[in-house]
Amino acid sequence: MNCIRVVILTIMLTALMWNAPAAHQTDPAGNAVSTEAGAAYDAKDWPKAARLYAQLSQSPEAPPRVWLRLGASLHELGRYQDALAAFEKANAAGGAVFGEYGEAAVYTAMKQPDKAFEHLAKAVQQGYAQPDVLSSDPNLASLRSDLRFAKLVEQAKKNQRPCAYSVENRQFDFWLGEWSVATTQGGIPAGDSRIELILEDCVVQENWKSQNRPYSGKSYNIYDQAQKRWEQYWVDNVSGNIFFYGGLKDGVMDYYTDEIPQTAGPALKRHLQFIPMGPDKVRQFSRGSTDGGKTWNIEYDFTYTRKHSSQ
């Protein structure tokens, strides 16, 4: 699952989370019982919440959130078998991540740690991405001394920020930093660039400003898990945009474009390389071809030199 899909899944599932308060909503039929149930749940009036969510669960269109909150209320009342049944219904209705989490909490209360870990592992495997909740939830306190728990917390951290832990997503980190840029031949100043990680370390963003010119631009670089390749999208302040794709080859980030139609002359294919020259230098080498890649002409050749704190 790529970073974007994990983030979207986490946002959607957080709204369903069984032990977190949420905005009160009416059920599909417009029944105000759901508002009353939500108020009871937030007030921790578990008998009333359990009764009202049980009433709402009778609807064939009851959403996962109803079953999750019913399970949580029954768990708080010590009605463990009923709580497990409600969480199973949540799983079947599409709330499996938090349904599994709820079952883990119930089995912990029932002093069945192996069953608790079985369901907690299922929740994490299916994308549970709340490591802080996992580490602080009093319902799971008795599990924390078990080595299995630390591994699940670590996996939840990876679910929360998958790009930060992905080997492929870290391949372009050699370009990160503040750079002074000059021509490789002659050392003529060309500009300055700040390369940084954004969007939970999923995107390598370039911020370019030319030397003594009002020209600036940005590129967004990301590893596409589905296509197993790196992609770059360049945009600038003169309506320019270029799409590159490629990958790390022998330590070099190797990008190409398709053939791009030109306003005059044949289509242009580009080949852009980022070549590490040690910890504080990166060469950016761009060539173009108008004969389908048979011959290449240099477009520009820059050397990035890392700025230090004194600069």
Q: What is the pLDDT of residues 61-76, one digit of tens each?
A: 899 999 999 999 999 9
Closest CA to 130 of 16, 41, 2, 226: 16
pLDDT band at 96 (very low <50, low <70, confident <90, very high): confident
Bridge partners of 300?
Answer: 286
User: Domain map of the chain by residue range?
Assistant: 3-160, 168-306
103, with CB counted inside 10 A (0-12, 13-18, 19+), is: buried
Instruction: Quote the pTM value.
Output: 0.73
Closest CA to 251 of 174, 177, 196: 174
Percent above pLDDT 70 for the chain: 89
Position 121 scores a pLDDT of 97
Q: Which ranges in the chain belong to alpha helices (H)?
A: 3-14, 33-42, 46-56, 64-76, 80-92, 96-109, 113-125, 131-136, 147-160, 162-165
- E-assigned strand segments in 215-309: 216-224, 229-236, 241-249, 252-256, 269-276, 281-289, 297-306
Position 310 scores a pLDDT of 58
For the four alpha carbons of 165, 166, 167 and 171, in that order, the dihedral sign comes to negative
pLDDT band at 311 (very low <50, low <70, confident <90, very high): low
Joined together, the tokens standing for residue 184 give: 């490789």
Percent above pLDDT 90 for the chain: 85
HSE-up of residue 233 (Cα within 13 Å, Cβ side):
6
User: Is the pLDDT at 21 greater than 90, yes or no?
Assistant: no
Position 5 scores a pLDDT of 44
Q: So what CATH class is 168-306?
A: mainly beta
Does this chain's domain 3-160 share its CATH topology with 168-306?
Answer: no
Strands 216-224 and 189-198: unpaired
User: Is the pLDDT at 19 greater than 90, yes or no?
Assistant: no
Question: Over the stretch 231-278, which tens digit does the pLDDT of each residue have?
Answer: 999 999 999 999 999 999 999 999 999 999 999 899 999 999 999 999
Neighbouring residues of 258: CB distance < 8 A, sequence distance ≥ 6: 243, 269
Q: Higher confidence at residue 181 or residue 32?
A: 181
Contact (Cβ atoms closer than 8 angstroms) between residue 202 and residue 224: no
176: part of which helix (H) or strand (E)?
none
Please tell me the distance from the alpha carbon of residue 31 to that of residue 57, in angstroms, as a whole number.
Answer: 12
Contact (Cβ atoms closer than 8 angstroms) between residue 86 and residue 57: yes
Helix (H, G, I), strand (E, B), or coil: what is residue 261? coil
User: Is the pLDDT at 120 greater than 80, yes or no?
Assistant: yes
Question: Over the stretch 283-309, which tens digit does the pLDDT of each residue have?
Answer: 999 999 999 999 999 999 999 999 986
**Average predicted confidence (pLDDT) for the chain:** 91
191: part of which helix (H) or strand (E)?
strand 189-198
HSE-up of residue 47 (Cα within 13 Å, Cβ side):
0
Q: What average pLDDT score do residues 134-154 get?
A: 97
Position 70 scores a pLDDT of 97
Helix (H, G, I), strand (E, B), or coil: what is residue 10? helix
Please tell me the distance from the alpha carbon of residue 85 to that of residue 103, in angstroms, as a whole number.
Answer: 9
Position 30 scores a pLDDT of 45
Could you tell me which CATH number the domain at 3-160 has? 1.25.40.10
